[in-house]
Structure 1
Amino acid sequence: MITNDGKIVGSVGGHFKDGKLAKWYDMGITIYETNTWDKHIGSQALKLYITYLFNLFDFPHLGLTTWSGNPRMMHVAEKIGMKQEARIRQVRFYEGKYYDSVQYGILRDEWK
């Protein structure tokens, strides 16, 4: 859960892309209400989550997948130091239009 001023405003979580092997973690974040966007809540929560994951697990890499229809999330990923690692073109279909799936990642050694 992500909170702001004592109110739940979003969530952060993820899944293992490699199943039971559990060495390839991909995360995501959701801020529910548009009136809480552009307040740096998402970037702060994502930074805390990445720090938590690197402290909890011995992963060399953490990933985040978003889509080209979400430029705010792409900006957050880049702002906190993640690098765009892959772009799968025109695979996300939303409201009659195709968008790219965009994958970001950061290595433990790159995280400050």
Structure 2
Amino acid sequence: MERLRDQEIVVRSIKETDLKTLWTLIYKEENPEWKLWDAPYYEHHSKSYKEFLSEKNSWIGNNQKKVVEINNRIVGTVSYYWEHQPSKWLEMGITIYKQLDREKGYGTRILKLWIQYLFDTLDLVRIGYTTWSGNYRMIHIGEKLGMTMEGRLRKVRYWDGIYYDSIRMGILREEWKELNK
């Protein structure tokens, strides 16, 4: 994969030299702050660096996961997975791990690069993601990118004593093309 670039943002394949940083951001802490936004209702488990390295093949050379850099510093990851590959139903995700890198418009710019890349390289008619109503940032990013709220399952995510909705956002290829002429 070539590097996707927007000014100081780069989305690129994961290299072996990235693994220590990724482990530190994702698995070193038992309760990392980023998990408060990324499906906190699912349990997070820290792991040793040795454990993480045993899974390195799922990171390096995996076309479905990419690292995100801002000013040559790893700040996050983007990914996609097949909800149902035979029908070409693809879902994507993004995580920006440190609070200091959020609320600066990076998420929107990163996902714009990622969506364009996915439409350019895969035979898809739709790209989407699922979030939860507590993650107002992801809902706002989807709206800024022209995505439609395709579904809201009410009060199906229980976390910290509160029920939240599951939110599904999506955009069709023709809608994306029209918005990005």
- Which letter does structure 1 place at the counterpart of 2:115? I
Question: Could you say which residue in structure 2 is the equivalent of 1:16?
Answer: 82
Please give the per-residue CA displacement for 1:13-59, whole angstroms capped at 9, x wherever unaligned: 121111x5261001111111111111111111100000000001111
TM-score (normalizing by structure 2): 0.59
SS in structure 2 at match of 1:101 = strand
Q: Between the two proteins, what is the percent identity of the paired residues?
A: 47
Query: 1:74 offset after TM fit, Å?
Result: 0.4
Which segments of structure 1 move beyond 4 Å, counting only runs of 4 or more? none
Larger Rg: 2
Could you tell me which residue of structure 2 aligns to residue 103 of structure 1?
168
For 1:69, the equivalent position in structure 2 comes to 134
**Structure with more of its chain in strand, by fraction:** 1
Deviation at 1:97, TM superposition (A): 1.4
Taking the aligned partners of 2:128 and 2:140, their CA distance within structure 1 comes to 15
Q: Equivalents in 1 of 2:159, 2:98: separation in Å? A: 19
RMSD: 1.1
Within 5 A, what are the aligned runs for 1:10-49?
10-18=76-84, 20-21=85-86, 23-49=88-114
Task: Flag structure 1 segments of 5+ consecutive residues without an equivalent.
Answer: none
Task: State the TM-score, normalized to the length of structure 1.
Answer: 0.94
For 1:99 and 1:45, how far apart are their aligned partners in 2?
Answer: 26
In the alignment of these two chains, the number of paired residues is: 111
**Contact preservation (8 Å) 1:84, 1:103:** yes
Report the AA paired with residue 41 of structure 1: Y
Could you say what secondary structure the match of 1:39 adopts?
coil
Is 2:120 the counterpart of 1:55? yes
Q: Which has the higher contact order (CA 8 A, sep 6+)?
A: 1
3-state DSSP of counterpart to 2:141 = helix
